[in-house]
Amino acid sequence: MAPTKAPDSSRRSDRSRRAIHDAALALVTEVGYRRTTIEGIAARAGVGKQTIYRWWPSKAAVLMDAFLDLAGRSAEGAGSGGEAQSDEAAQGIPDTGDLVADLKLVLRATVDELNDPVLEAPTRALTAEGIVDAKLGAEFVHRLLDPQLALYVTRLRAAQEAGDVRAGVDPRIALELLIGPLMHRWLLRTLPLTHAYADEIVDYAVGGLAPRP
Amino acid sequence: MAPTKAPDSSRRSDRSRRAIHDAALALVTEVGYRRTTIEGIAARAGVGKQTIYRWWPSKAAVLMDAFLDLAGRSAEGAGSGGEAQSDEAAQGIPDTGDLVADLKLVLRATVDELNDPVLEAPTRALTAEGIVDAKLGAEFVHRLLDPQLALYVTRLRAAQEAGDVRAGVDPRIALELLIGPLMHRWLLRTLPLTHAYADEIVDYAVGGLAPRP
DNA sequence: CCCGCGAGCCGATACGTATCGTCTTGCAAG
DNA sequence: CTTGCAAGACGATACGTATCGGCTCGCGGG
């Protein structure tokens, strides 16, 4: 009956947790997701296998936590000092009044992140895993993607109030018009992902969202 | 030196090939990609393991051929009688002169395909594998995606000549404005993928591509 | 025309390796 | 003294390779 009672997290070793995160990220970028094994992570982290199995249900879960930890750490110091969440999440999308310029700025930054060799392998691995595993995918979307997308919703709503976007447009759909093409090209590698591409997407998309004359 | 000489394909058993295709597709939809094994496929198909290893380099390659075979078979009879390639590939995108209506028709059909439970599991598995494995991804794009996308390019060029799309627009980018959001929502399961969504995407995208007044 | 023969794919299965997830053992931190 | 921890033994799969007869071809001598 006892549903495998949870271990006492207050006694958990932070040192081991971090070592496991680092080892997981390093292995994924070095040998790829398929060939990173739990045993390999444990060995590299100087940790017993059981310590991993005690705290995480799967290899993907380890990588997800490691990735979130990485994103959180790289954002520290960029925020106003409090609890930053992620690079963009901490500061939001700028609102200079020029919607096109603001979006280009953010989408260019997204392009740079996607092309960053350090982030590429873990991001691809998690995305791919989420595509096949609905449960993990939901967690990925909820913990990583949704917070980012919420920023677009905010900025697009402001644009609607400013009259740059038609009132009837659903921000959730407008946002996908921007992000979708970027992700599509990155995921499927159909063509190179460049700043110029991001700019064109913004130009076309905003054109379709603007009020009819 | 002899680079593992290729087997004689003229003596290949078509019966085994088809049995392997069917078993692979069935297992992927039944137990998921991760838990379909080469041994499982061989057992289900009533085939020796070596027969699979002789003709395919990996589990993903088996599934890719099986999927292409499935797509090809389901399109037979729909084409003009000759060598049909795929449902849409055989007939192309209609050109009634109404760009919005034509695109909605095709994107709705794509939505239906993506929501088809028979096609969903193999498509997700192949896409996910291609995201992580660049070599396989390139093959996936080349054999499956590019032929489909070429149809959009054709239709969009016609729209440019008809004056429905600005002359400066690159069809390869315009097409991603349509397909990208659809794939993004389907892959990441952010929100349900419906006909209404396809319609809105077409409305917004075409609005952004149309000539400036 | 016919039959024997070698080549090669086929189903089947044994083999050694790798990874999995669980379980056990001491040890040291709390 | 309780419990997480490092280390690793353990059975269970799945991997990819190597053979083994059995069967079906194509070919060439009779």
Give the contacts of A31 (CB within 8 A, at least 6 positions apart).
A40
First to last CA, chain B: 66
Is A5 among the domain residues? no
Q: Which residue's structure tokens are 């969440």?
A: A85
Is A48 among the domain residues? yes
CA angle at B44 for the pair B38 and B48, rounded to the nearest 5°: 60
A61 and A100 assigned to the same domain = no
Q: How far is the CA of B15 from the C1' of D25 (A)?
A: 16
Separation of alpha carbons B205 and A177, rounded Å:
8
A32 and A106 assigned to the same domain = no
Residue A106 has pLDDT above 90, yes or no: yes
Give the contacts of A134 (CB within 8 A, at least 6 positions apart).
B189
Q: Is A205 on the interface with B (CB under 8 A)?
A: yes
Q: How far is the CA of B65 from the C1' of C6 (A)?
A: 33
Q: Is A105 on the interface with B (CB under 8 A)?
A: no
Is A50 among the domain residues? yes
Kindly report the nearest CA distance between residue A15 and chain B, in angstroms: 30
CA angle at A194 for the pair A193 and A196, rounded to the nearest 5°: 135
Residue A131 has pLDDT above 80, yes or no: yes
Residue B140 has pLDDT above 90, yes or no: yes
| Residue B91 banded pLDDT, cuts 50, 70, 90 | confident
Measured CA to C1', the nucleotide nearest B54 is C9
Is B58 among the domain residues? yes
Residue A208: predicted pLDDT: 96
CB count in 10 Å sphere of residue B90 = 17
The per-residue DSSP string of B160-191 comes to: HHHTSS-TT--HHHHHHHHHHHHHHHHHHTSS
Is B195 among the domain residues? yes
B32 and B130 assigned to the same domain = no
How does pLDDT run across A160-180, given as a tens digit for each residue? Answer: 999 999 999 999 999 999 999
Interface contact flag, A33 B129, Cβ < 8 Å: no
Q: Which tokens go with A155?
A: 């900025």
Of A69, A102, A133, at which residue does a domain stop?
A69
C-alpha distances (whole Å) from A53 to each of A41, A49, B152 are 11, 6, 48
Total domain count for chain A?
2
Is B48 among the domain residues? yes
Q: Which tokens go with B162?
A: 């008809």
How does pLDDT run across A76-92, given as a tens digit for each residue? Answer: 544 444 443 445 555 78
Separation of alpha carbons B153 and B155, rounded Å:
6
**CATH code for the domain of B109:** 1.10.357.10
Q: Whole domain around residue B56: which residue ranges?
A: 11-68
A147 and A186 assigned to the same domain = yes
Separation of alpha carbons A143 and A137, rounded Å:
10
**CATH code for the domain of B57:** 1.10.10.60
